[in-house]
Amino acid sequence: MRALEHLEHREDTRELIYHNLQLFDSLRQPANELRHAAVAITVSHYRDQAAVILTRRAGTLREHGGQWALPGGRIDSGESPVEAALRELFEEVNLVVDESQVLGTLDDYVTRSGYNITPVVVWTDVNWEDLVPNPGEVASINPFTFSELSRNDSPVLQSITQSDRQVLSMHYQGDVVFAPTGALLYQFREVAICGRGTRVLHYDQPVFAWK
C-alpha cells in the first residue's frame, strides 16, 4: 500500500477505505441513559490530497463551543445514525450526500458529557470552495489532510490525575484535536486506511470536555 500521506482522493483510495471498513466489526454501545449522536468522517479532496472535513464549533454554542469537531449531532426520533450524519453534513457545512456515498462505520464512542457517538464514514467529490459553514453552529471548515493523519507524533497519550485512562489527542496544524474527535480520527486512520483493528473507547477526554 502507498504511504498514507501519498494517498490521493481517487477511486483506489475510496476502494481501500471501503474494503477495510467492511472487514472491520464496528462495535455499538448500549443506549442506557446516553444521548445518541452521529458524526460524519467525510473524505474529500483539498488541493493535491485527500482530507477529512473538520470544523471549529461556533464559540456561541452552549456545549463544547470553540472546540474542534466532526460534523454531527443528536439523532432525531426515527432516524438512523447514517441519516443523522448526512442531515448534519447539510445543516452544518452545506454538503448534500446520499447513502450510496457511505463507506461504513467505526466504533461508538461514549463521551464524558453523556453522548454515545456513532461515526459514519462518507466519501464525497465536492469542491472545497462549495462548503459553506452554518454560522450558528460552525465557525470554520478545515481540511484534516492525510498528511496530518500520518504524522509519526500522533496520537499523543497523556496521563491525568482525574482519570485512570489516558487522554488521546492528534496533532493538527500547531494545535491538537482531543478525544472524542481525536480518537475517532485516530481510529479512522488505523482501521479505514491502515487496515488495523484498533479500538479507541478506552481513551479518555481532557477534563475541560467532560461537561
Cis peptide before 206 (omega within 30 of 0): no
pLDDT digits (tens, 9 = 90+) for 181-194: 999 999 999 999 99
DSSP states of 59-92:
TT-TTTTT-EE-SEEEPPTT--HHHHHHHHHHHH
- The pLDDT value given to residue 1: 41
Residue 159 belongs to some domain of the structure: no
Domain annotation covers residue 48: yes
Rounded to an integer, the average pLDDT of 2-9 is 71
Q: What is the largest CA-CA distance in the chain?
A: 46
Would residue 157 count as lying in a domain?
A: no
In 3D space, the residue among 70, 5, 61, 6 whose CA is nearest the CA of residue 38 turns out to be 70
Q: Does residue 21 form part of some domain?
A: yes
Q: Note whether residue 75 is domain-resident.
A: yes
83 found inside a domain = yes
* pLDDT at residue number 65: 58
Residue 170 placed within a domain: no
Amino acid letter for position 180: P
Owning domain of residue 71? 4-147
Q: Grid coordinates standing for 190?
A: 488505523
- CA count, 13 A, side-chain hemisphere, 135: 0
Residue 97, domain member (yes or no): yes
Q: pLDDT tier at 32 (50, 70, 90 boundaries)?
A: confident
Q: What is the CATH number of the domain that holds 124?
A: 3.90.79.10
pLDDT in tens, 135-171: 888 999 999 999 999 999 999 999 999 999 999 999 9
How many domains is the chain partitioned into structurally?
A: 1
Task: Using pLDDT thresholds of 50, 70 and 90, give the confidence band for residue 5.
Answer: low
